Structures are given as structure tokens and as C-alpha cells.
A = this chain, B = another copy of it.
């Protein structure tokens, strides 16, 4: 996370590790964008933290926005991969799979620094349409697809009586989003038991999907 070059070297000319530099810049940029948002982040600040001169950044990125874009693209994609690998070969019932997906999200995103990246995307996306688009392509559409697939499979196998989740796959991430928002903004006023909340919601959702009493 902290990537200020170890001892303050002062080098010039060709350098050994261009990929490392790129990474250092990206790391520093992430830290600053997270803390201050896009508009308030200064290239000077990024450069200082990366142990690099301001001009150097422009050797790796066309401008501030390109840097932001590269950052997002580099770090966002890997998230969904695991889930996509898990779904098609899951042994147990679909209800259990949905539970696991939700829990994985809580553990792997809400419980790590990835949550900060999520926050960055959510807060900057309204102002950068391309950001929403990348996020849609790389994460949201794929996630939705997964949920739909599971929902459909559940119905096909006779495990689910309702197809509500297929029509509205957003039902699954809704409480996760709420938990995210809550812990980001309001936890200091009234802490939320995220685990309990999510489990509670899953009980409710799955109970309804499995047997619609009516």
C-alpha cells in the first residue's frame, strides 16, 4: 500500500524497472484518489508519494484522466473472476450458492481495501460516464449474469418456486449495497452488524424463493 521509494534516490536517465515505476505511480495515485477524490488530487502529490518527478508521470500516462482510467481498469477486473469460476461447477443447492456468493462479497470486498475502490467508483461514476461504463462491463453485467444463471438453474431444478430473482437479479446485491453504504457513512452513529444483516436478508429472500406459500 505505501509505495514511497525506499530511500530517497535521485536518479536520472534510463532506469532499471519501468514496470515497477508504473506500479509505484498507480499505487500512489490510488491512495490519493481514495483520500481526496479525482478533482482534489494533485499530480504533484502523487509524484511525491511515488518517489518520482511530476514530469515522469507523463511518460507513463497521457494525462490525469488517463491515469485514473488505467488505475480503475487495472484493479477492477480481477474481482469477478473467482465468482465466475465457482458458479458453473458448484455441487450443492442453488440457495447455498447464493449464500456463498453474498458472503464472499462481504468478506472479499467489504472486508478489504477493495471496499475503498468500490467507493471511489461509486462516488466518481456520476461525473465520469466512461467509469460507469467500464464498471458495467467488467463487473455489474457479469455479476448480474451470474445471478440470473443461478436463479434460472434453481427454477429448472425445482429448488426455487419463484422466478423473482431471475426477473430482478438486483434483489441479491441490494442488501450488500446497503451494508456498504452504511458502514461507509453511518457506522459511527449506529454500527451495523453486517453479517447478521446479510444473513437475515438471505433467510428472507431464500425462504421466499424456495417455497412461495401463498
Contact = CB atoms under 8 A, between A and B. Distances in A.
**Which 9 residue pairs of A and B lie closest in terms of their CB atoms, listed nearest first?**
A39-B39, A174-B178, A123-B123, A132-B185, A204-B208, A174-B174, A39-B40, A174-B175, A136-B189
A126 B185 CA distance: 7
Nearest to A40: B39
A10 to B, nearest CB: 33
Nearest to A204: B208
A197 B168 contact: yes
A178 B178 CA distance: 8
B197 A170 contact: yes
A30 to B, nearest CB: 15
Nearest to A210: B213
A176 to B, nearest CB: 9
Interface of A: 36-37, 39-40, 119, 122-127, 132-133, 135-136, 140-141, 144, 164, 167-168, 170-171, 173-175, 177-179, 181-182, 184-186, 189-190, 192, 196-197, 200-201, 203-205, 207-208, 211-214
| Interface SS, A side | helix
A171 B201 contact: yes
Contact of A190 (B39, B123, B141): B141
Contacts of A123: 122-124, 126
B207 A205 contact: no
A101 to B, nearest CB: 16
A37 B37 CA distance: 10
Contact of A37 (B39, B200, B212): B39
Most buried by B among A127, A177, A189, A204: A204
Nearest to A178: B174
Nearest to A192: B170
B189 A141 contact: yes
A122 B119 CA distance: 10
Contacts of A203: 164
